[in-house]
Structure 1
Amino acid sequence: MRLIPPAAAAALTVLAAACSSAVEAPYDPGVCYYVVPDEAAENGLRFNVVARDQPQMEHCAARLEEMRLRFVGLGGSNREIMGSYQGKFIFIDATGVKVGDTLTGGRYFFLARAPGGQLAIPGAIQRDIDGRPIGVIAPPPEPAAN
């Protein structure tokens, strides 16, 4: 049986502790946050409420994009922003919106940036407000009676 060297065991312990202390996005139902780095905060981030009673993540992304455009219109230079909604992190940049469970982990594509700069739901995941698919497959026809 091979034993793990003490230095490797200590490194694994440090890595496990670092993974367990990852910053988590708040899970407040319907609350959209703008996330900014803040060295004075306990976890290094400050979560500022942008909007409440947001029914879906798309609405939160729209509120964050609206805020970003207002700041840019006032002379701001921040083209990329970060937010959170119900335990997920939202990342807005020149290509669109990506969503991830953590700050540094994998991100999946959520909203595309149209040629005019607007955010659009890609056709493959487009839904109406209550989450039902737009295109619904009709049930098969009833068999004809002989």
Structure 2
Amino acid sequence: MSRKTVVSTAAIGLLGLSLAACAPKGLEAPTEPGVCYHVVLSEDGKSAPLVNVVARDQPQIEFCAARLEEMRLRFLSMGGNNRDMIGAYQGQFIFIDRAGVKFGRTLEGQRFFALARTGDGRLAIPGAIQREIDGRPVAVAP
């Protein structure tokens, strides 16, 4: 390889690294152990989201999701109309909507389906929901 090729390859690599460093990282979920947060996104999308503590000493992310679901139902019973909610727990975001609960590392990225809604609106582990097909119980997958 010629010296010119090595130098140009290095320059392109440095340019790529500097562009990646300048890109906005977006909101990162708080990482404080055991603390469950409610995340409120701004209406205009320009100002920083509000992050409020919902509960402390939560042993697992599923417990945080349950606290957020309680809060969502309480708001709905008081006349609220927001059926979706975003929370955070130890570096992960929690998304609650009509389908159930999903977890994700970023607000815009991929989401992992964690809890499904049963027919009566409760949350359950997807494999735990069973129904009968041809007289035999079958686990329902998401």
Q: TM-score, structure 1 length as denominator?
A: 0.70
Return the alpha-carbon distance in structure 1 between the equivalents of residues 47 and 102 of structure 2.
22
Q: Secondary structure of the equivalent of 1:97?
A: strand
Instruction: Work out the percentage of aligned pairs sharing the same amino acid.
Output: 59
Once the two structures are TM-superposed, the CA of residue 44 in structure 1 deviates from its matched residue by 1.2
Q: Distance in 2 between matches of 1:30 and 1:43?
A: 27
**Counterpart for residue 95 of structure 2:** 91
Answering whether residue 22 of structure 2 is matched by residue 33 of structure 1, we say no
More helix by share: 2
User: Structure 1 residues 9-18 or 61-70, which shifts more?
Assistant: 9-18
In the other structure, the counterpart of 2:75 is 71
Q: Helix, strand or coil for the counterpart of 1:62?
A: helix
Q: Which residue of 2 aligns with 1:109?
A: 113
Determine the C-alpha separation between the residues in 2 that align with 1:11 and 1:38.
Answer: 31
2:101 is aligned with 1:80: no
List runs of 5+ in structure 1 lacking aligned partners: 125-146
Q: CA deviation at 1:23?
A: 1.4
Runs of 4+ in 1 over 4 A off after TM superposition: 9-16
SS at match of 1:75: coil
- Alpha-carbon distance between aligned partners in 2 of 1:32 and 1:18, rounded to the nearest angstrom: 28
Instruction: Find the aligned partners of 2:51 and 2:71 in 1 and give their Cα distance.
Output: 15
Q: Which residue of structure 2 aligns with residue 17 of structure 1? A: 22
| Whole-angstrom distance in 2 between the partners of 1:53 and 1:95 | 27
Q: Which amino acid is 2:103 matched to?
A: V
Contact 1:23 1:43 in 2 (8 A): no
RMSD value over aligned CA atoms? Answer: 2.6
1:10 Cα deviation after fit: 7.6
Give the Cα–Cα distance (whole angstroms) in 2 for the partners of residues 43 and 57 of structure 1.
Answer: 27
C-alpha separation between the residues in 1 aligned to 2:39 and 2:80? 17
2:119 is paired with a residue whose SS is coil
For 2:59, give the aligned amino acid.
P
Q: Any gaps of 5 or more consecutive residues in structure 2?
A: 129-142
Q: Alpha-carbon deviation of 1:36?
A: 0.4
